[in-house]
Amino acid sequence: MTPRRDAAGPVFTALADPTRRELVQRLASDGEATATELSAELPMTRQAVSKHLALLEDAGLVATTRAGREVRYRLNAPPLAEAMAWMAQVGGRWDERLAALGRHVERTRTPAGRRRSR
Amino acid sequence: MSTSVRREVVLPVSPEELWPALTEAERLADWFAPDVDIDARPGGGAVFRWEDATRRAVIEEVEAPRRLSFRWAEMGEAGAAEPSRVELTLEEVAEGTRLRVVETAAGESLPATAAMLGAGDAWEHLLARLRRSRALVVA
């Protein structure tokens, strides 16, 4: 019930881009990949893929493992879960509050608002 | 851009009529929280108490009857959580007033919860939800 202390600012910025969503999806299905491998699957250069991956990494959505010169990327899912939980909870509460406000307004509406109908 | 939740509702009263329902303790107690203390001035404080929770707020902007913003957080056993920011804007429309609510999360650090995602498009669905403003017309 208690709202989580933290939520995912950069997460949604990172996922607002369709290319990055595609990368997340690939990593979700492949498990792990290098920028080179990912660029082979997508119509873009390795450099472009690397930039997107860096942004995803900043947002905490992907984690890296270095093996020699190679950097392997994999999905880091908890931030997504955190953001989803926050949004579902906070949004749900505002739905309830606004519904209550609607009822409150109906109860407290002054006759002035209905004068027109006379 | 940060993580935020947006909602809106159209209410059949003018912004001037709606404003007290958003800023006066007595009115807030009828819909928002059973026990409310509020000093609706910039820098003023507010406390909202429910049976199972208490939230403290610091009012930021007050532009009657157009705009109200505050930061608030739940008071937990370990003290206050990191506050999120709430912005309420009122816009006069033919049917009355459109009230928009945007609550924006504070922090950027992300404590781990259960791992998810994997298969499926849960996040895609969530993004769509993020963008969607819910309009409830109270006729």
Question: Looking at this predicted complex, what is its ipTM?
Answer: 0.70
Residue in B closest to A89 by C-alpha:
B5
Whether B42 maps to a domain, the answer reads: yes
Q: What's the confidence (pLDDT) of residue A111?
A: 67
**Contact call for residues B58 and B70 (beta carbons, < 8 A):** yes
**Domain that residue B89 falls in:** 4-106+119-137
Q: Which helix (H) or strand (E) holds B74?
A: strand B67-76
**Dist. CA B95–CA B9, nearest whole Å:** 11
User: Residues B28-71: pLDDT tens digits?
Assistant: 999 999 999 999 999 999 999 999 889 999 999 999 999 999 99
B133 to chain A, minimum CA–CA distance in Å? Answer: 10
**Dist. CA B19–CA B15, nearest whole Å:** 6
| Contact between B138 and A83 using a beta-carbon 8 Å cutoff | no
User: Residues A52-110: pLDDT tens digits?
Assistant: 999 999 888 888 999 888 899 988 876 666 676 677 778 888 999 999 999 999 999 87
* % residues pLDDT > 90 (chain A): 35
> For testing the chain B interface, which of A19, A75, A82, A95 should be mutated: the one with the most B CBs within 10 Å?
A82
Counting the structural domains of chain B, the total is 1
| A-contacting residues in B 81-100 (Cβ below 8 Å) | 81-82, 84, 99
Q: What's the confidence (pLDDT) of residue A24?
A: 81
Both structure tokens of B107 = 């922090």
A8 touches chain B (CB under 8 A): yes
CB pairs under 8 A between A and B: 162
Q: What's the confidence (pLDDT) of residue B125?
A: 45
B91 to chain A, minimum CA–CA distance in Å? Answer: 16
**CB contact set of B75 (below 8 Å; sequence gap of 6+):** B53, B54, B55, B56
Is the pLDDT reported for residue B124 higher than 70? Answer: no
Residue A72 or A20, more confident: A72
Residue B16 or A5, more confident: B16
State the burial class of residue A42 (Cβ atoms within 10 Å of its Cβ: 0-12, 13-18, 19+). Answer: middle
Whether B85 maps to a domain, the answer reads: yes
Q: What's the confidence (pLDDT) of residue A72?
A: 93
Query: With b meaning 16 or more CB within 10 Å and e meaning fewer, what string describes A66-78?
Result: eeeeeeebebbbb
| Contact between A9 and B74 using a beta-carbon 8 Å cutoff | no
| Contact between B81 and A99 using a beta-carbon 8 Å cutoff | no
**Dist. CA A110–CA B23, nearest whole Å:** 18
Which pLDDT band, with edges at 50, 70 and 90, does B134 fall under?
very low
Residue B58 or A12, more confident: B58
- Provide the H-helix boundaries in A1-45: 9-15, 18-30, 35-41
Please state which CATH class domain A1-109 belongs to.
mainly alpha
Is the pLDDT reported for residue B107 higher than 80? Answer: no
Residue A15 or B112, more confident: A15
**Dist. CA B10–CA A99, nearest whole Å:** 11
**Dist. CA B28–CA B21, nearest whole Å:** 6
Whether B111 maps to a domain, the answer reads: no
CATH of the domain at B66: 3.30.530.20
Average confidence score pLDDT of chain A: 79
Average confidence score pLDDT of chain B: 77
Task: Name the pTM for this structure.
Answer: 0.60
Where exactly are the structural domains of chain A?
1-109
Q: Phi/psi at A19 (nearest 5 deg)? A: -65, -40
Average pLDDT for residues A11-28, to the nearest whole number? 78
In chain A, DSSP assigns E strands to 32-34, 62-67, 70-75
| B-contacting residues in A 64-83 (Cβ below 8 Å) | 75, 77-83
Average pLDDT for residues B117-128, to the nearest whole number? 39
Residue in B closest to A101 by C-alpha:
B31
